[in-house]
Amino acid sequence: MVDADPRLATVADARDVARLLHAFNVEFDTPTPRAEVLAERIASLVERDDTFVVVAGSPPNAIGLVTLRPNVWSGTVALLDELYVEPGARGRGIGARVLALVVEEAAGRGATELEVEVDEPDVDAQRFYEREGLPLADAETGDRAFVVRRTL
């Protein structure tokens, strides 16, 4: 395992990205499709302009998956859907480097804002995001935002 620089994933990385997404869901007891099913989805998503994946490591041990959407106020918003570093590789700066490329690539694709959803019990991830310039509360008002959703 080599801590290779983060880079943009291509279709050739689909199986590794799927493996890591599957591991993420298993680690956090979230239902997950089989890695082969995920790999097919990833292969088609990385061909699009509105989705990209950053991978790091050789073979990859970290991913950041981003989707971009139009926004009436700011043009384009990037959502960091998934950020995952394999357990054995955490705490040595890989997540921060993946996030840095996520920011650079999202800005390069026209995004003016980066959003991340983080669950209340995930205090380690919250500390990471705070440190990386994604505070839990609005810097001016101190307000915290909540994500509400229903299944359709």
Ligand X SMILES: CC(C)(COP(=O)(O)OP(=O)(O)OC[C@H]1O[C@@H](n2cnc3c(N)ncnc32)[C@H](O)[C@@H]1OP(=O)(O)O)[C@@H](O)C(=O)NCCC(=O)NCCS
Q: Which lies closer to ligand X via its Cβ, residue 40 or residue 122?
A: 122
Q: Which lies closer to ligand X via its Cβ, residue 93 or residue 135?
A: 93
Residue ranges in 35-94 that form contacts with ligand X under rule CB under 6 A: 83-85, 90-94
* Beta carbon of residue 81, minimum distance to ligand X (angstroms, whole number): 9
* Beta carbon of residue 72, minimum distance to ligand X (angstroms, whole number): 26
* Beta carbon of residue 95, minimum distance to ligand X (angstroms, whole number): 2
From the number of C-beta atoms within 10 Å of its C-beta (0-12, 13-18, 19+), residue 109 rates as middle
> Which residues are CB-contacts of 16 (< 8 A; sequence separation ≥ 6)?
9, 55, 59, 60
Q: Which lies closer to ligand X via its Cβ, residue 93 or residue 110?
A: 93
**Which of left, alpha, beta for 112 (phi over 0: left; psi -120 to 50: alpha)?**
alpha
Q: Does 128 bind ligand X (CB under 6 A)?
A: yes
Q: Which lies closer to ligand X via its Cβ, residue 52 or residue 128?
A: 128
Q: Residue 120: what residue type? A: E
CA-to-CA distance for 94 and 100, rounded, in angstroms? 10
- Per CB under 6 A, the list member of 36, 50, 122, 138 interacting with ligand X is 122
DSSP state of 112: S
Question: 123-150: buried (b, 16+ CB within 10 Å) or exposed (e) per residue?
Answer: eeebebbeeeebeeeeeeeeeeeeeeee
Q: Does 23 bind ligand X (CB under 6 A)?
A: no
Q: Which lies closer to ligand X via its Cβ, residue 52 or residue 84?
A: 84
Rule CB under 6 A: which residues touch ligand X? Answer: 83-85, 90-96, 116, 118, 122, 124-125, 127-128
